[in-house]
A and B are shown apart, each in its own frame.
Chain A
Amino acid sequence: MKTTITKIFHVEENIDRVWEYLADPTKIVTCVPGASLTEKIDDHNFKGKVSLKFGPVKAAYDGKITIEELDVANRKMVLKGAGVDPKGKGSADMVMNGMLTEKDGGTEVNYSMEVSLVGMLAQFGSRLVNDVSDQLLNQFVNNFKNKLKAEATAPAPAAAATDTAASTTGAEAATAVAEEIKEGAAAVAEKVAETVTKTAPATAKESVAQTEDNSLNALSLMWAVIKGFFSRIFGGGK
């Protein structure tokens, strides 16, 4: 199954700096919640990992990331990722398109992600995948902005690795809630409260080294998914 999500957001940085960040897989990939780079093959090819959890299904993909297009003149890049769950639960393919334009003294980032899933994740997550992906991309945007800002103030590339861990926790917390939603609307209120109290301390603990933003992200991600779910049930537009 395929899902495409597009985001347009603004950053208060000049386009060259943003481009430098966007065009560097070692930086951009670590903004993706749950993703990390494990090996650089050459300037355009990398190996990496992504872990995701949708409802009852966890999947960790080992894969290859390739820079398909790097158009410096137009500030456009296309990144392709292909991953396989080493335990045989399925595979995921992703195409990321990024484009930058100068706007209001800063930079407008036009970003889209097309994800194609095969296997258990697609089966069980088909109704959730849009919501969760959308929220993951939101989190990506925040990570992107924060890192850019952090680097601007105090460049510390070491942060990337730990940041990933925290993001994963966020994604898992969100999907854990999504899983509970499946169990029935009646129990949701109670479950949510329970999950929030369960996950919040854990998130805080695991992200001690992190900025406040990441634990906040975990909560907002959960709530956004829940909100999306209920607004659909009660006819709210999406």
Chain B
Amino acid sequence: MIQQKTSKKICGMGHSMRRKEDNRFLQGKGNYVDDIKLPGMLHMDIVRSPYAYAKIKNINTEEALKVPGVVAAVTGKDLEKYNLHWMPTLMSDTQMVLPTDTVMYQAQEVVAIIATDRYAARDGKEKVIVEYEPMKPVMDPHKALDEDAPVLRTDKEGQKDNHIWHWEVGDKEKTEEVFNNAEVVVKEQMHIPRIHVASIETCGCVASYNKVDNHLTMYMTTQAPHAIRTVIALVAGHVGLTEEKVRVISPDIGGGFGGKVPVYPGYVIAIAVSFLTGAPIKWVEDRSENLQADSFARDYHITAEMAGTKDGKIQATRFKVLADHGYTDASANPSKFPTGLFSIGTGSYDYGTAYMEADAVYTNKPPGGVAYRCSFRVTEAVHAIERMTDRFALEVGKDPAQLRFENFIKKDQFPWKSPTGWEYDSGDYHAGLKLAMDTVNYDELRKEQAEKRKRGELMGIGISTFTEVVGAGPSKDFDILGIKMFDSAEIRVHPTGKAIARFGTKSQGQGHETTYAQIIAEELGIPAEHIQIEEGDTDTAPYGLGTYASRSTPTAGAAAAMAARKLRAKAKKIAAHLLEVSEDDLEWEPGKFFVKGAPDKAKTIQEIVFASYTNHPQGMEAGFEATHYYDPPNLTFPSGAYICVVDIDNETAEIKVRRFVAIDDCGHIINPMIVQGQVHGGLTQGIAPAMYEELIYDEEGNILNGTLMDYLVPTAVESPHWETGHTVTPSPHHPIGAKGVGESPTVGAPPAIANAIVDALSPYGVTHLDIPITPFKVWKVMKEKGILGGKPV
């Protein structure tokens, strides 16, 4: 149950407080990067490559420079003079800022045009003449490893093929042994396709270098402003841009979803040009640039296997991944995790043996591999395990719900050690699935399905009972470029009892201004409406690694609670001083300390705070301020039980999602309304790859759906009615028992939908379909199986 310990006035945890930030968003008064206008600001546009792989023979910018308003054209050769033509990626690979001789993917940046306004920049861009010598690109990751495949990264010393790295986890021999002796083994090839992180706001920046003060202010669409500042200082320290001379401001962000974690060449060019000219440089991508060139998500080719007994006991899993990373490994993962947290792929099930391996390859596609609303490759892992669980159930002839109940890790087995090394903190998977089944009326649906099958009608029920792993992360394992993945909160309460709190994270729509205030309200009893939340300015906010991977609540949310608790301890001392009693005689209720047995003898938090400025005890530090850097002892493991019901038209193959029930368990809930909103958005971003989205390339390296006309992002029209609910299994190690929820629905929804569609077609021998499962894909299968028009079972 959702607990509310505070009054509605205080509005601590469990209250559906309206989002404080919506006041400005709903009035169109948000302040995004493109709203930033500085005196003397110049605008940048970027010429991009039409080829996926080509030599650059010549670049002629003469005509471009004649366009009125155009002031400069920047090429890779220009940047080379300052050794800025290449930059490091987060995964210790290298990426071109601008090419000097070779382009590696279609839409790669080639020339930057700087002009007095955006239109002039675009006109100038049209006049740039680039001569290329096209080469045959490597588009298929399987062929990238062929002996005769051309080596793409000739710039890397010692690179003799297109292989980037190999990764493995689990016990290979033991897994092989279980597989060799298993009664039942199922195997499927699946592709989790390359998709685009379609945030409403594209990426951009305003780089403003002040030559007089030698100071750079960088307004930027970034989910991790502090990390960016450190990176800038590390690469530009030698030209005087040391860390105190760099200020990164991440203003309002219109959706990130992992796509605003990487450093894109455009940012770097803008900084370089501002540094050289002293003028502020604005660069904002257009929609197609955002779609075609920014970091992709996923693109895992997985061979998935599951072994078990005839009566449905799972014994082992084995996943082999081929990861297509494009021309460089620009993934956004913690340093030690090249496949992110893919090893969570043993799922919610109790078995002791698993082995996973992955090989990453270079191709002539855009770089990336971001965690699209997911905790680093968890979506891929969950898709594989949930698909295979259904596949296994089909093989042994057991209802997939029943099979799950029989294989779940039980509530009393937590903390549970997974075969790939995780320690799951808590969970109650049986309760979640039971609630989902009761909500959807599972048994009735199965009866209905049996009757429909007799009439040749196609109806499917799909389940996904996933476990997420979020909140990266404990410093022993997690760092990005060496910086540990803690996060921070700093609370300053003003004399009148109103507060400001600053964080190392950065909301992109998650509602931090509301939920962090509620956490502090819960701990201190100061009404949430009087707690101002600030993030995103590295000059004022405490250091933290930003917001992605559902880490804000597990890390910065915890830091908020811990900092507030420090303040409450101080409040207690002041209260004891004011009431002239011993601290031991005091009791807390939200908003005040009172003397045990004498509730009238009390001091409110506001009185206590005022005293800290006006009448603090001798020997105590004045003021009311605390900071906490929270290094989580473990990750958190939210879970969910999703059930999807689909009807498929047996003539047209139109797929209709009739029901979608999502039961989430994210531990204690801070704001039920925000959680529900997050779940709705996440589910829609789950149906997207399941049924609509895929970045498609042809053999020549052309992206065939490079605009939102062709790349199908689901809208309200395509979104079914989401039925949401929750179970509450608090995280035992998190100060407020919360786990994080932003990404669960994106992770959990695709396999529920895929399982439902495959379930509908399973009587006809269909065991797997790759997402996105479009009506056309289903229609082709139906045609092949001869069931168009209906075939009774």
Are B51 and A118 interface neighbours, CB within 8 A? yes
Q: Is the interface of A mostly helix, strand, loop or mixed?
A: mixed
Closest Cβ–Cβ distance, residue B351 to chain A (whole Å): 46
B134 within 8 A of A: yes
Cβ-defined partner of A118 (8 Å) among B47, B702, B709: B702
Task: In the complex, identify which listed stretch (B124-132, B219-227, B504-512) lies at the interface while the others stay far away.
Answer: B124-132
Are A90 and B706 interface neighbours, CB within 8 A? no
Please report the C-alpha to C-alpha distance between residue A119 and residue B47 in the assembled complex, in whole angstroms.
13
Are A87 and B703 interface neighbours, CB within 8 A? no
Are A123 and B128 interface neighbours, CB within 8 A? no
A88 within 8 A of B: yes
B106 within 8 A of A: yes
A122 within 8 A of B: yes
B292 within 8 A of A: yes
Residues of A within 8 A of B704 (CB): 1, 122-123, 126
A117 to chain B: closest residue by CB:
B702
Are B132 and A122 interface neighbours, CB within 8 A? no
A89 within 8 A of B: yes
Q: Chain A: interface residue count, which band?
A: 20 to 34
A173 within 8 A of B: no
B698 within 8 A of A: yes
Closest Cβ–Cβ distance, residue A87 to chain B (whole Å): 5
A59 to chain B: closest residue by CB:
B50
B725 within 8 A of A: no
A116 to chain B: closest residue by CB:
B700
Are A118 and B129 interface neighbours, CB within 8 A? no
B709 to chain A: closest residue by CB:
A182
Are A87 and B706 interface neighbours, CB within 8 A? no
B705 within 8 A of A: yes
| Chain A 1-39: CB-based contact to B (< 8 A → 1; otherwise 0) | 110000000000000000000000000000000000000
Please report the C-alpha to C-alpha distance between residue A89 and residue B132 in the assembled complex, in whole angstroms.
10
A238 within 8 A of B: no
Residues of A within 8 A of B706 (CB): 123-124
Closest Cβ–Cβ distance, residue A67 to chain B (whole Å): 23
B58 to chain A: closest residue by CB:
A88
Please report the C-alpha to C-alpha distance between residue A163 and residue B349 in the assembled complex, in whole angstroms.
73
Are A88 and B292 interface neighbours, CB within 8 A? no
Within 8 A of B (CB), among A84-129: 84-91, 116-120, 122-124, 126-127
Please report the C-alpha to C-alpha distance between residue A2 and residue B288 in the assembled complex, in whole angstroms.
22
Are B710 and A122 interface neighbours, CB within 8 A? no
Are A126 and B705 interface neighbours, CB within 8 A? yes
| Chain B 680-701: CB-based contact to A (< 8 A → 1; otherwise 0) | 0000000000000000001011
Are A119 and B129 interface neighbours, CB within 8 A? no
A85 to chain B: closest residue by CB:
B50
Are B698 and A119 interface neighbours, CB within 8 A? no
Please report the C-alpha to C-alpha distance between residue A85 and residue B49 in the assembled complex, in whole angstroms.
12
B309 within 8 A of A: no
Q: Given contacts A116-B700, A117-B702, are A123 and B132 in contact (CB under 8 A)?
A: no
Cβ-defined partner of B130 (8 Å) among A2, A88, A126: A88
Closest Cβ–Cβ distance, residue B67 to chain A (whole Å): 14
B154 within 8 A of A: no
Please report the C-alpha to C-alpha distance between residue A90 and residue B131 in the assembled complex, in whole angstroms.
10
Q: Given contacts A89-B50, A124-B707, are A84 and B132 in contact (CB under 8 A)?
A: yes
Are B703 and A90 interface neighbours, CB within 8 A? no
Closest Cβ–Cβ distance, residue B49 to chain A (whole Å): 8
Residues of B within 8 A of A182 (CB): 709
Q: Given contacts A87-B129, A88-B132, are A122 and B700 in contact (CB under 8 A)?
A: yes
Residues of A within 8 A of B110 (CB): 88
Within 8 A of B (CB), among A112-152: 116-120, 122-124, 126-127
Residues of A within 8 A of B130 (CB): 87-88
Closest Cβ–Cβ distance, residue B291 to chain A (whole Å): 10
Please report the C-alpha to C-alpha distance between residue A17 and residue B50 in the assembled complex, in whole angstroms.
42
Q: Given contacts A118-B134, A119-B51, are A126 and B700 in contact (CB under 8 A)?
A: no
Closest Cβ–Cβ distance, residue B136 to chain A (whole Å): 11
Residues of A within 8 A of B698 (CB): 1-2, 122
Please report the C-alpha to C-alpha distance between residue A84 and residue B707 in the assembled complex, in whole angstroms.
24
Cβ-defined partner of B702 (8 Å) among A84, A89, A123, A127: A123
Please report the C-alpha to C-alpha distance between residue A123 and residue B292 in the assembled complex, in whole angstroms.
10
Closest Cβ–Cβ distance, residue B62 to chain A (whole Å): 13
Residues of B within 8 A of A119 (CB): 50-51, 106, 702
Residues of B within 8 A of A88 (CB): 47, 50, 110, 128-132
A2 to chain B: closest residue by CB:
B698
Please report the C-alpha to C-alpha distance between residue A118 and residue B702 in the assembled complex, in whole angstroms.
6
Residues of B within 8 A of A2 (CB): 698
B696 to chain A: closest residue by CB:
A126
Please report the C-alpha to C-alpha distance between residue A84 and residue B128 in the assembled complex, in whole angstroms.
15
Q: Which of A2, A91, A118 has the most CB of B within 10 A?
A: A118
Please report the C-alpha to C-alpha distance between residue A118 and residue B134 in the assembled complex, in whole angstroms.
10
Are A123 and B106 interface neighbours, CB within 8 A? yes
A58 to chain B: closest residue by CB:
B126
Residues of A within 8 A of B132 (CB): 84, 88
Cβ-defined partner of A91 (8 Å) among B129, B134, B288, B707: B134
Residues of B within 8 A of A117 (CB): 700, 702
Residues of A within 8 A of B106 (CB): 119, 123
B698 to chain A: closest residue by CB:
A1
Please report the C-alpha to C-alpha distance between residue A90 and residue B288 in the assembled complex, in whole angstroms.
17
Are A86 and B129 interface neighbours, CB within 8 A? yes
Please report the C-alpha to C-alpha distance between residue A1 and residue B696 in the assembled complex, in whole angstroms.
11
Residues of A within 8 A of B131 (CB): 86, 88
B63 to chain A: closest residue by CB:
A87
Are B705 and A90 interface neighbours, CB within 8 A? no
Closest Cβ–Cβ distance, residue B53 to chain A (whole Å): 10
Please report the C-alpha to C-alpha distance between residue A119 and residue B52 in the assembled complex, in whole angstroms.
8
Residues of B within 8 A of A87 (CB): 128-130
A86 to chain B: closest residue by CB:
B129
Q: Jot down 8 A-B pairs with beta carbons below 8 A, ordered by A.
A: A1-B702, A86-B129, A90-B50, A118-B701, A123-B702, A123-B703, A124-B706, A126-B702
Q: A88-B132, A126-B704 are in contact. List 15 more A-B contacts (CB 8 A).
A: A1-B698, A1-B700, A87-B128, A87-B129, A88-B47, A88-B129, A91-B134, A116-B700, A118-B52, A118-B702, A119-B106, A119-B702, A122-B702, A123-B704, A124-B706
A contact set with B: CB distance below 8 Å: 1-2, 84-91, 116-120, 122-124, 126-127, 182
Query: Which 4 residue pairs of A and B lie closest in terms of their CB atoms, listed nearest first?
Result: A119-B50, A88-B130, A90-B50, A122-B702
